[in-house]
Structure 1
Amino acid sequence: MIEAVGLTKRYGDKTAVYNLSFQVRPGAVTGFLGPNGSGKSTTMRMILGLDNPTAGAVTIGGYPYRKLPNAPRQVGALLDAKAVHGGRSARNHLLSLAQLSGIPARRVDEVLGVVGLQEVAKKRSKGFSLGMGQRLGIAAALLGDPQVLLFDEPVNGLDPEGILWVRNLMKALAAEGRTVFVSSHLMSEMALTADHLIVIGRGQLLADMSVRDFISANSADFARVRTPDTEPQLREKLGSALAEAGGHVLPEQDGALRVTGLALPRISDVAHEAGVRLWELSPHQASLEEAYMRMTQGAVDYRSTADQKAGLQQPLPPGAQPPMPVPGQGQPGWYAPPPPQQGGQPFAMPAPGAAPAGPYDGAQAGGHGAPGGPSAGAPNPYAQPASQAPQAPQGQAPAPAAAVPPPAPQQAPVAAPADLTKPEDPR
């Protein structure tokens, strides 16, 4: 069993953990939850004796980690899967750990089989993927067959099959009477794996209870009720009847009703007495993620803000070339994608005061498919000024604008073969 009493850790002016007390009991998977920067990793390091607490104490089986006889055979931990010498093979890494702890070499091959790395046991760990590194770290934690196990984000980088394997492994270890302490940010996985939860925020304890009690204490259960869509008057009638019976009714966006304060049998009785047919009557319980977000919303240190994309856009540098003109653009029947941009710019910036153009500017300018005909007031950032319009050769009448087809894509000039550039032989 792991027991922390008044655990406190300060780094200068920053308090990472403050007066934290909890117990991790054997025979169950205990989830350790909290936002980034809440002190989870610091707490685990103090449990393993890697950091000394400023105040308080934490023990494993009644002893501090450093006073445990042959601690690696009593406690296994995965804190950083990358803490491996990249030049060693997976087997040699585990073999060196086994020799330091007096563990038989045959145990190395056993745990390699447990984590599924027996086929790559002789490969250097620096070539391992993130998921393979996680498996190797779990193998190191299991090496001494310990009774107490600590895992920090054990499913990080694993594929769905690997996540399912870790979940079953945690449950199997706890079923054998071991103490299993797991830190994770995957709420859906914790809901399927953990039996008990310890939640901290900004270094302080927020909750220490079972998963079921945690969800019930931090969420409001409700019933979802739906009447026939073809008879909207029944929905109003049922809502009034439920409100008179003491329920709190809120409409849902899809036309259903969210009812709190009444049990499902009572809702059914009220609907029957009101003569209302029901298409749906189902209970709804918040997920672990919803309950967790509700509890920790005031303990989050890192919050994102709106992405102000307009602030990332810079004007074109002086002397930059404008977009290539497209003859006939904006005329009835015209349709073409925007022209290629010049100067290496990924997007052409419109002139000051011009409205932005969409990917199909012809539709905005009253082209093909634009309802209502041409819009004379809509400026076109890609349209060529009248003063720069191409002139027809002298003596020829200019062709109508609508008859000018879009120009073909320009291709790089092809160099002539070398023998064609030589002067002809006079003979």
Structure 2
Amino acid sequence: MIEAVGLTKRYGDKTAVYNLSFQVRPGAVTGFLGPNGSGKSTTMRMILGLDNPTSGRVTIGGYPYRKLPNAPRQVGALIDAKAVHGGRSARNHLLSLAQLSGIPARRVDEVLGVVGLQDVARKRSKGFSLGMGQRLGIAAALLGDPQVLLFDEPVNGLDPEGILWVRNLMKALAAEGRTVFVSSHLMSEMALTADHLIVIGRGQLLADMSVKDFISANSADFARVRTPDTEPQLREKLTIALTEAGGQVLPEQDGALRVMGLALPRISDLAHEAGVRLWELSPHQASLEEAYMRMTQGVVDYRSTADQKAGLQQPLPPGAQPPMPVPGQGQPGWYAPPPPQHAAPHPGGTPANPYGGPGAAPRPPAGPALQGQAPGQPPSGAPAAPAAAPAASAAASPAPVTDPTTSEDAR
């Protein structure tokens, strides 16, 4: 079992994870969800001893990772599938990890067969595709036959057959009583794979519950009702009847009605009493993606805006001349430097920190890329909203882990 208690990680005045507590229990696939920059990767690195927490603790089976006897035989992880020497073959890469941990060489061939790389075992990994690299990383995680497994985006780069294989592998490992902790952005895949969810935003815990409970708590089921398109007066008549019965009725873009607060049999009875024919009466249950979007809409830092092409194509005013062409523009190697970024002025003369922090200015209302506030504010003296840390990459594999970096991308 993995247990985190009050886990906090700061990089200078940036807080990647704040007061995070949760448990990952054996016998189930636990999904680890959160927007980019929410602190998922930082949390997994602290679990594996790659980063030391600023405060709090995280243990595996009651021990910190670095104090586990022969940790690669107890914990396997896929954090960075690219952490492979490109000049080594797949087999030699796994063989070197096995020798470091006292794992028999025959196990290397076993895991190569499990992940389907037995035919390319002697090819250099630098020629591997993204999906093949993922399979090699999963093989490294399985090498020590560990009871605890952590996977960060395990289906990245895999084809549909590979995604199905990973899904079944995760379920099989959990069915054997192992602890399986999976971070992913693919909501549809998590809905099919995970039994339990841990959701974080800006480094803070948002939810810790089963997939079913998460969807129920963060979505509203409704009924979809359609009347004959050629008789709009029937739709208006039905809307009045459903509203008077206590239902909430919203029009859909395709002409149907979304009805909340009334069961399907009740809707049918009301339509019959009103003399309204129905072309459609169907239930709708929210997906994990819908529930996730509702839960995290206030903690997403990076939002897209509409493409303002129309604003770039306004007609020139009378008498104005079109701009002179820039020499070399559009040619290979041509580069235009980005415009300078101007920070919002701070009342005290110091540039405001848009992510918060000790002494940070309030988040400016403008700027579509930074909207919403974290649902809970830290106590006095702590940063107002956790943020991402500087980027660097590190590898986690069944072999003893060392990491020379001091910071990383808090995803």
Give TM-score, length-normalised by structure 2: 0.76
Look up the equivalent residue of 1:291 and give its one-letter code. Answer: A
2:407 aligns with none
1:131 aligns with 131
1:156 aligns with 156
Cα displacement (A) at 1:264: 1.1
Which deviations, in whole Å up to 9, do the C-alpha atoms of 1:32-53 show, x marking residues without a partner? 0111111000000000011111
Look up the equivalent residue of 1:165 and give its one-letter code. Answer: W
Cα displacement (A) at 1:319: 11
Q: Select the residue among 313, 317, 321 that pairs with 2:324.
A: 317
Secondary structure of the 2:182 match is: strand
Look up the equivalent residue of 1:240 and give its one-letter code. Answer: I
Distance 1:150 1:208 in 2: 17
Cα displacement (A) at 1:237: 1.8
Structure 1's 315 and 179: CA in aligned 2 closer, same or farther, altered over 3 A?
farther
1:282 aligns with 282
Secondary structure of the 1:200 match is: strand
Cα displacement (A) at 1:305: 3.3
Look up the equivalent residue of 1:125 and give its one-letter code. Answer: S
Cα displacement (A) at 1:274: 2.0
Q: State the 4+ residue runs in structure 1 displaced beyond 6 angstroms.
A: 343-346
Secondary structure of the 1:295 match is: helix
Distance 1:345 1:151 in 2: 42
Look up the equivalent residue of 1:139 and give its one-letter code. Answer: A
Secondary structure of the 2:99 match is: helix
2:346 aligns with none
1:93 aligns with 93
Distance 1:318 1:145 in 2: 63
Distance 1:199 1:96 in 2: 36
1:215 aligns with 215
Q: Structure 2 stretches of 5 or more lacking a match?
A: 315-320, 332-411
What does residue range 240-279 of structure 1 map to in structure 2 within 5 Å?
240-279=240-279
2:345 aligns with none
Look up the equivalent residue of 1:95 and give its one-letter code. Answer: L
Cα displacement (A) at 1:197: 0.6
Cα displacement (A) at 1:272: 2.1
Secondary structure of the 2:223 match is: strand
Secondary structure of the 1:16 match is: strand
2:104 aligns with 104
2:49 aligns with 49
Distance 1:261 1:123 in 2: 60
Task: Kindly tell me the number of residue pairs found equivalent between the two proteins.
Answer: 324
Secondary structure of the 1:56 match is: strand
Q: Structure 1 stretches of 5 or more lacking a match?
A: 321-342, 347-427
Structure 1's 155 and 345: CA in aligned 2 closer, same or farther, altered over 3 A?
closer
Cα displacement (A) at 1:146: 0.7
Cα displacement (A) at 1:232: 2.5
Look up the equivalent residue of 1:193 and give its one-letter code. Answer: T
Secondary structure of the 1:198 match is: strand
Secondary structure of the 1:100 match is: helix
Secondary structure of the 1:304 match is: coil
Which deviations, in whole Å up to 9, do the C-alpha atoms of 1:226-278 show, x marking residues without a partner? 11223322222211111111111112122211100111121112122222221
Distance 2:135 2:96 in 1: 17
Structure 1's 319 and 3: CA in aligned 2 closer, same or farther, altered over 3 A?
closer
Look up the equivalent residue of 1:227 and give its one-letter code. Answer: T
1:14 aligns with 14
Secondary structure of the 1:162 match is: helix
Structure 1's 221 and 315: CA in aligned 2 closer, same or farther, altered over 3 A?
same
Secondary structure of the 2:270 match is: helix
What does residue range 342-381 of structure 1 map to in structure 2 within 5 Å?
none
Secondary structure of the 2:298 match is: coil
Secondary structure of the 1:158 match is: coil
Which deviations, in whole Å up to 9, do the C-alpha atoms of 1:94-144 show, x marking residues without a partner? 011111111111111110001000000000001111110000000000001
Look up the equivalent residue of 1:18 and give its one-letter code. Answer: Y
1:237 aligns with 237
Look up the equivalent residue of 2:24 and give its one-letter code. Answer: V
What does residue range 57-206 of structure 1 map to in structure 2 within 5 Å?
57-206=57-206
Distance 1:136 1:256 in 2: 49
Give TM-score, length-normalised by structure 1: 0.73
Which deviations, in whole Å up to 9, do the C-alpha atoms of 1:280-321 show, x marking residues without a partner? 11111222111111111111122233444456999553799x
Percentage of pairs with the same residue: 93
Distance 1:100 1:312 in 2: 62
Structure 1's 271 and 305: CA in aligned 2 closer, same or farther, altered over 3 A?
closer
1:5 aligns with 5
Distance 1:290 1:3 in 2: 28
Structure scoring higher RCO (CA < 8 A, sep ≥ 6) equals 2
Secondary structure of the 1:250 match is: strand
